[in-house]
Amino acid sequence: MTAELPTGRAPSIRDVARLAGVSHQTVSRVLNNHPSIRDSTKARVLQVIEELQYRPNRAARALSRGRSRTIGVLSASGSQYGPASSIAAIQDAAREAGYYVNTANLTSVDTASIEAALDHLMYQSVEGIVVIAPQVRVFDVLEQLSIEVPYVTLQSTGRPNDHALSVDQIHGARLATRHLIDLGHRRIFHLAGPQDWIEAEARMRGFLEEMGAMDVPTTAPILGDWTADFGYHAGRELLRQRDFTAIFSSNDQMALGIMHAVRDAGLDIPRDVSIVGFDDIPEAAHFWPPLTTVRQDFAELGRRCIALLLGTIAGEDPDKFREAIIPELIVRGSTGPPAF
């Protein structure tokens, strides 16, 4: 049916050209939707492409265009729900925009590991990087390696030239804190995340701001590692004093661990201790009791990440993308007025 072809090799743009009776450049134009192509020509070329199952070679394209159309994601704890959802959303959004995504996981958070991961990304000539990791350290390494691709984080680092997405995590944390205060709690404890995660720092800041604004005295937060296990052990420790009536955990997993510890101590939630989480992972509604938490729209986050990053790559004004995402408080059974 079709004309003979060199076998053992994927068809190239010139194979298509020959069979369609046009020049290779015309085929290229068809592929790139160049405006001045006669419809009949275009149809003929497309038909040959179809027949040959031709696919443009990405490497060749990247080489001659000088652009990889790839962005890198630097991720830590990528199997946790929050990061994982953002990554998925980032991939979807990138694909939508015709970009490819490559993820490098941090095996640990030390400098060497970060360096290795960044290196891996740079080797693929990524055009930009999304950081979902302990950002402060990552940036140090970025600078140290004098790497100069645009990057995006999920929250401002306060550094100059940082292209950050504004999720108003401070606001989210204030919502959670305010909820507890409104219920009548005055002794509220905060289990924070690792402080080199900007998100963790922002949530803690929000907590402290709201407590300050409402004139409630605070104690120093504990810094956790995002895991339920840590929440459990921190909870056990805290319960030895029991000088609080509510705990605000900076993510849902740690909140789950705390709930475990509270039950172990024979106490009731929310009568003896109210608990608020952050993220609203899909499981949170099924905890016992269902967890009051702050919902983040991870998918929207991912989309905006890509919009901002691609915008930056294209040289647009980053401020165009600065509109903050406002998280939402979801009240469930884990919070109530203090018993006294």
Residues that bind a copy of itself (CB under 8 A): 53, 55-63, 68, 78-81, 84-85, 87-88, 91-92, 95, 100-105, 107, 120, 122-125, 146, 227-229, 231-232, 253, 256-257, 259-260, 263, 282-283, 285-288, 290, 298
Compute how many residues bind DNA; rule: CB under 7 A: 33
Give the one entry of a copy of itself, DNA, none that residue 283 binds, where binding means its C-beta sits below a cut-off of 5 to 8 angstroms depending on kind. a copy of itself
Number of H helices, E strands in the chain: 12, 10
Which of the stretches 54-62, 174-182, 297-305, 314-322 binds DNA when contact is defined by CB under 7 A?
A: 54-62
The token pair at 96 is: 């939508």
How far is it, in rounded angstroms, from Cα 250 to Cα 85? 17
Residue whose CB is less far from a copy of itself, 206 or 336: 336
Least Å from the CB of residue 238 to DNA? 55
- Edge-to-edge strands of the sheet including 246-249? 222-223, 188-192, 246-249, 274-276
Q: Smallest distance, Å, CB 233 to DNA?
A: 49
Q: How far apart are the first and last CA of the chain?
A: 86
Q: Cβ closer to a copy of itself: 62 or 216?
A: 62
Four-residue CA torsion sign, 326, 319, 298, 104: negative
User: What is the chain's length?
Assistant: 340
Contacts (Cβ under 8 Å, ≥6 apart) of 239:
261, 262, 265, 267
Nearer to DNA, 65 or 240 (CB): 65
What is the Rg, in whole angstroms, of the alpha carbon atoms belonging to the chain?
Answer: 26
* One residue of 60, 285, 324, 339 binding DNA per CB under 7 A: 60
**Cβ-contact 107, 113 below 8 angstroms:** yes
Cα–Cα dist 163/131, whole Å: 11
Decide whether 10 or 324 has the Cβ nearer to DNA: 10
Q: Which one of a copy of itself, DNA, none is in contact with 228 (Cβ closer than 5 to 8 A by kind)?
A: a copy of itself
Binding site for DNA (CB under 7 A): 9-10, 12-14, 21-26, 28-29, 31-32, 34-38, 40-42, 54-57, 60-61, 63-66
